[in-house]
């Protein structure tokens, strides 16, 4: 089985401050890990993914994420938050060693950036 946990329903941060949105995962084998962002009344937009190799992955809009195998985590980070980053963020996982599974998503974390 594969699963994702996003322990925070909401994260509040002031504009210009660094932000972190947490994600932990569980798979039987090795993971493919993804972050998506969702704006109101819109579909999900891809931000970045980890497949293999460098544990620090850089993505769209200045976001990055760090894969930590020992802690089974894939936290999303940004050095300086913008008000326009306010949205719903989803972490997702696929176990690459157990067949043709689709992505399993977490419950989402709402990011609120205050001006």
Using rule CB under 8 A, residue 22 touches other proteins: no
The answer to whether residue 96 forms part of the interface with other proteins (CB under 8 A) is yes
Number of residues that bind other proteins (CB under 8 A): 25
Which one of residues 40, 53, 99, 115 is an interface residue with other proteins (CB under 8 A)?
99
105 binds other proteins (CB under 8 A): yes
φ, ψ at 9 (rounded to 5°): -70, -35
| Span from 17-25, 37-45, 61-69, 74-82 in contact with other proteins (CB under 8 A) | 37-45
Compute CA 51 distance to the chain's CA centroid, rounded to the nearest angstrom. Answer: 14
101 binds other proteins (CB under 8 A): yes
Residues near other proteins (CB under 8 A): 4, 32, 34, 36, 41-46, 49, 51, 90, 94, 96, 99-108
């Amino acid at each position: 089985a594969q699963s994702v946990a996003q322990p925070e329903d909401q994260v509040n941060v002031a504009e210009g401050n660094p932000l972190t949105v947490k994600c932990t995962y569980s798979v039987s084998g090795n993971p493919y890990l993804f972050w998506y962002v969702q704006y109101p009344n819109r579909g999900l937009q891809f931000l970045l993914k980890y497949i293999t190799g460098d544990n620090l992955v850089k993505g769209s809009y200045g976001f990055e994420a760090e894969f930590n195998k020992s802690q089974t985590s894939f936290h999303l980070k940004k050095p300086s938050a913008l008000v326009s980053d306010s949205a719903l963020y989803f972490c997702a996982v696929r176990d690459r060693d157990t067949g043709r599974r689709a992505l399993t998503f977490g419950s989402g974390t709402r990011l609120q950036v205050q001006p």
